[in-house]
Structure 1
Amino acid sequence: MTVLVVGDVIDDIVVRPLRPTAPDTDTPSAITAGPGGSGANQAAWLGALGARVRFAGRVGAADAAAHTAALAAAGVDARLAADPGAPTGRIVVLARGGRRDMYTDRGANLNLSAADLPDDLLDGVTLLHVSGYSLFQPGVRAAAGDLMRRARERGAATSVDPASAAFLADAGPEAFRAWARGARLIFPNLDEGRLLTGAREPSAVAAALLDDHPVVALKLGAEGALVAARDGTRLALPSAPAEVVDPTGAGDAFCAGFLAGWAAGRPLEDCARGAVAAAGRAVAAVGARPRKES
């Protein structure tokens, strides 16, 4: 029962100001660097949660060994293409309280191609999860979309996380819904869900997305989550109690927590509880990847 994740690999720099920003001069801050990228984060969380997981992405050639090792340490079978010309993607995350702003240079991720996604990636795979970042650029979208088609032909389920409200707005909600249609599960946050559907209330957002996807897991941040399914299931769960240190990667952890349960054949309620628990772990530590629990 292997989950295959396709998406971005990023070098994260997380900046946490230690006092209000002083314009045009210095603001004392805590700055942490580490591996990130929505798809790679989801794979790392899946591995840390005990799922069998494979990951495909693209990085700068100089960083391929380091990123492969970082993912392997989390239990991920990483298949990274080494880009000879473009650098690994980079993000500067400005984290303040429960919010964060991200300044993104996707680098080598924009060059992911069909050659990086061969058929043997799908061997033994029961679920293919695609980060929405892989659907926003035409070339990458064509490669990821073809892999989704091949996965379904083999009988594997597919799932999608819209990933970025800003990029989703640029691409257009109707276009994204067309690209994602056919996925069995979708994992938007509330902002993304509102963009995709035009609805405002979480229950209305979830109901609208059920037209395209049998299962909707709507991330509501501090308010928890709403999970809906075409069989009539409606689950509203509170967020896990946690002191918010850094929200980076919380949505990725949520997605992985849900999919870990799904891949193991657990009921939707167990999947949802695993999702909010993983998100709670993520916000309580700096950085987007899982840390070993003491």
Structure 2
Amino acid sequence: MLASLGEPPEVTMRRILVIGSYNRDTVLRVPRFPQPGETLAARALDRFHGGKGSNQAVAAARAGAAVSLAAAIGTDEAAEAALALWAAEGIGAASVHRRAGVPTGEALILLDDRGENEIVIVGGANATLAPEEAVAALGVSALVLAQLETPVEATLAAFVAARAAGARTLLNAAPAQVLPEALLDATAILMVNETEAERLAGRSGAPADLAAALASRVAEGVVLTAGAAGAWWAARGAAPSHVPAVPTDVVDSTGSGDAFAGAMAAGLAEGLPIEAALRRGATAGALACRRLGAVPSLPRRAEILALGG
């Protein structure tokens, strides 16, 4: 039982397992994105912890959840930094596997003056996470959260085992790609942005329509995030509902989606209804836009609750 900051001790958090990536992020701040063939001078260079899996694990832990991580890293300096991060955040790393001779994942991020970003990822050790390693990490987790920066086969195996054990599965289908139907069948809640929703649906459309179209392919429903336009929840057989965005000043949007996913997962692990968990996620996502860097921007539980999440 984990008592959360600012709340009565009877609040209980069920354990979350995050299956996902760790990347060392190199952020180049540029006035605008370069055109093809153009050389553009960056104004600054910063390095941060990153990777959607690690970011979402940190976001969920800071939102008050008990979190463990299944991941693969190298034996380099970036891997040592990752282990130190997870230890500092109270994230269980017993199911993090180290690979000799394989580099820890890397990401190059261009950040422009509007706070928008473009990202290129080198998977490295992330691409080596095996299905049996992901399944072995399940333990007593009540909710399993995954993304698409580690092998789909590992996530599928863990989701099938988790569903058989009665655990809830939450898939953040990012980066955008076509998914096997078996993975969607094993997914309770699907989280996508507009681009990812269009890729999975095979068409464009209004956010509410896309969410509704995808809801029939998963067990519970779909969360579709749309930045300043807010988010939509579409359950199977029900009309979509809208969660407004929280107004914010955008400094860097890099970690906002991960903050949303992690805080929403923490809310679900706490037993909140889906729309209350969505509001918590939307609040965390807005707070994450206010600071530079993915992990430095991820808000803590007290900040989220103070803003009404």
Q: Secondary structure at the match of 1:117?
A: helix
Residue from 116, 125, 149 that aligns with 1:108:
125
Residue from 126, 129, 137 that aligns with 2:145:
129
Corresponding residue of 2:49 = 35
Contact 1:48/1:75 (<8 A) preserved:
no
Structure 1 pair 118/287, CA: closer, same or farther in 2 (3 Å)? same
Q: CA shift at 1:181, angstroms? A: 2.2
User: Residue by residue, what CA displacement relative to the aligned partner does 1:84-127 show, whole Å, maximum 9, x if unpaired?
Assistant: 011011111001114211121111111111353352x2222001
Corresponding residue of 2:196 = 192
Contact 1:61/1:82 (<8 A) preserved:
yes
Corresponding residue of 2:58 = 44
Residue pairs, 1:125-164, within 5 angstroms: 125-134=141-150, 140-164=151-175
Give the strand-richer structure, 1 or 2. 1
User: Residue by residue, what CA displacement relative to the aligned partner does 1:19-40 show, whole Å, maximum 9, x if unpaired?
Assistant: 7869866624122101100111
TM-score, normalised to structure 1, is: 0.88
Corresponding residue of 1:66 = 81
Unpaired runs of at least 5, structure 2: 1-13, 304-309
**Separation of aligned partners in 1, 2:268 and 2:115:** 28
| Backbone CA RMSD of aligned residues | 2.2
Structure 1 pair 194/18, CA: closer, same or farther in 2 (3 Å)? closer
Letter in 2 for 1:70: L
Letter in 2 for 1:263: A
Q: CA shift at 1:14, angstroms? A: 1.2
**Separation of aligned partners in 2, 1:90 and 1:270:** 34
Give the helix-richer structure, 1 or 2. 1
Structure 1 pair 142/12, CA: closer, same or farther in 2 (3 Å)? same
Contact 1:64/1:80 (<8 A) preserved:
no
Structure 1 pair 40/71, CA: closer, same or farther in 2 (3 Å)? same
User: Alignment length, in residue pairs?
Assistant: 281
Q: Does 1:254 align with 2:260?
A: yes
Residue from 66, 88, 92 that aligns with 1:77:
92
Q: CA shift at 1:291, angstroms? A: 5.5
